[in-house]
Amino acid sequence: MLPVRDNYEDLVGDFVWDIPEYFNMGTAVCDDWAEREPDRVCLLHFVPDGEPDTLTYGQMSARSNALANGLASLGVSRGDRLALLLPQGFETAIAHIAIYKLGAIVVPLALLFGVDALEYRLKTSGAKCVITNASGAAKVTEISEKLDQLASVVCVDDFPETVSFDALTDGFQASFNTVATRADDPALMIFTSGTTGPPKGALHAHRVLLGHLPGIQLPHEFLPQPGDLFWTPADWAWAGGLLNVLMPALYFGVPVVSSAAQKFDPETAFRIMAQTGVRNAFIPPTALKMLRTVDNPAKRFDLNLRTIGSGGESLGRETYEWAKRELGITINEFYGQTECNLVLSSCGRIGVTRAGSIGLAVPGHMVAIVDAAGNEVAAGTPGQIAVKHPDPVMFLRYWNNEAATRAKFVGDWMLTGDQGIQGEDGYVEFFGRDDDVITSAGYRIGPGEIEDCLTAHPAVALAAAVGKPDPLRTEIVKAYIVLKPGQKPSHALAGEIQDWVKVRLSAHEYPREVAFVDTMPLTTTGKVIRRELRDRAIRETRSYD
Q: Which amino acid is at 388?
A: K
Residue 264 vs residues 80, 288, 464: alpha-carbon distances, Å:
33, 10, 18
pLDDT of amino acid 197: 57
pLDDT of amino acid 66: 98
pLDDT of amino acid 440: 75
pLDDT of amino acid 471: 74
For residue 470, count CB atoms less than 10 angstroms from its CB and return exposed for 0-12, middle for 13-18, buried for 19 or more: middle
pLDDT of amino acid 543: 45
Regions of the chain with pLDDT less than 50: 542-545
pLDDT in tens, 188-246: 999 986 555 578 999 999 999 999 999 999 999 999 999 999 999 999 999 999 999 99
pLDDT of amino acid 441: 61
pLDDT of amino acid 75: 97
Give me the domains of the chain, ranges plus CATH numbers: 1-19+207-366 (3.40.50.12780), 22-204 (3.40.50.12780), 437-539 (3.30.300.30)
For residue 42, count CB atoms less than 10 angstroms from its CB and return exposed for 0-12, middle for 13-18, buried for 19 or more: buried
- Give ∠ CA 317-342-260 in degrees, rounded to 5: 85
Contacts of 381-385 with C-beta under 8 Å, sequence gap 24+, read 381/421, 382/419, 382/420, 382/421, 382/431, 382/444, 383/419, 383/420, 383/421, 384/415, 384/416, 384/417, 384/418, 384/419, 384/420, 384/434, 385/335, 385/344, 385/416, 385/418, 385/419, 385/420, 385/428, 385/430
pLDDT of amino acid 544: 47
Asked if residue 100 lies in contact with residue 25, where contact means CB atoms within 8 angstroms, the answer is: yes
Q: Which amino acid is at 135?
A: S
pLDDT of amino acid 545: 38
The pTM of the full predicted model, rounded to 2 decimals, is: 0.84
pLDDT in tens, 265-280: 999 999 999 999 999 9
